[in-house]
């Protein structure tokens, strides 16, 4: 039973380029969450998506960042015109349904380095 998969595991971009991070949730899970962990800091919530819908994007910067979870295929976190401050580990998590107490299953993360 495959867990949450994220790719790439490591991504290097130069300032101004675009970064695309992919997340395949656990099979059957329809809820996806993205978190960001800056160096030496705790994880911060970014966005919560259900298939084809953004439920809560309160933690996502208003500019340059976008997320989607299409009907078919993985969830994508897109960062346009990256800056050095975007360097971080980005973790995706999934859960089977949106009820309190539901466990979130995390992927191994994508480590983004902006040069």
Partner 1 sequence: DAKTTQPNSMESNEEEPVHLPCNHSTISGTDYIHWYRQLPSQGPEYVIHGLTSNVNNRMASLAIAEDRKSSTLILHRATLRDAAVYYCILLKAAGNKLTFGGGTRVLVKP
Q: What residues make contact with partner 1 under the rule CB under 8 A?
A: 4, 31, 33, 35, 42-45, 48, 56, 58-59, 91, 93, 95, 98, 100-109
Rounded to the nearest whole angstrom, what is the least distance from the CB of residue 103 to partner 1 in the complex? 5
Looking at the Cβ atoms of 1 and 100, the one nearer to partner 1 is 100
Rounded to the nearest whole angstrom, what is the least distance from the CB of residue 81 to partner 1 in the complex? 27
Distance CA 97, CA 10 (A): 29
CA atoms within 13 A on the CB side of 76: 13
Instruction: Please check whether residue 112 is in contact with residue 86, taking contact to mean a CB–CB distance below 8 angstroms.
Output: yes
């Amino acid at each position: 039973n495959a867990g949450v998969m994220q790719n790439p595991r490591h991504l290097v971009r130069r300032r101004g380029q675009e970064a695309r991070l992919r997340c395949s949730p656990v099979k059957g899970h329809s809820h996806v969450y993205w978190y960001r962990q800056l160096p030496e800091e705790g994880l911060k919530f970014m966005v919560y998506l259900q298939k084809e819908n953004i439920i809560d994007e309160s933690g996502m910067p208003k500019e340059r960042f976008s997320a989607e979870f299409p009907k078919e295929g993985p969830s994508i976190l897109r960062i346009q015109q990256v800056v050095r401050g975007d360097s971080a580990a980005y973790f995706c998590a999934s859960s089977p349904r949106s009820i309190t107490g539901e466990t979130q299953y995390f992927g191994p993360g994508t480590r983004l380095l902006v040069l």
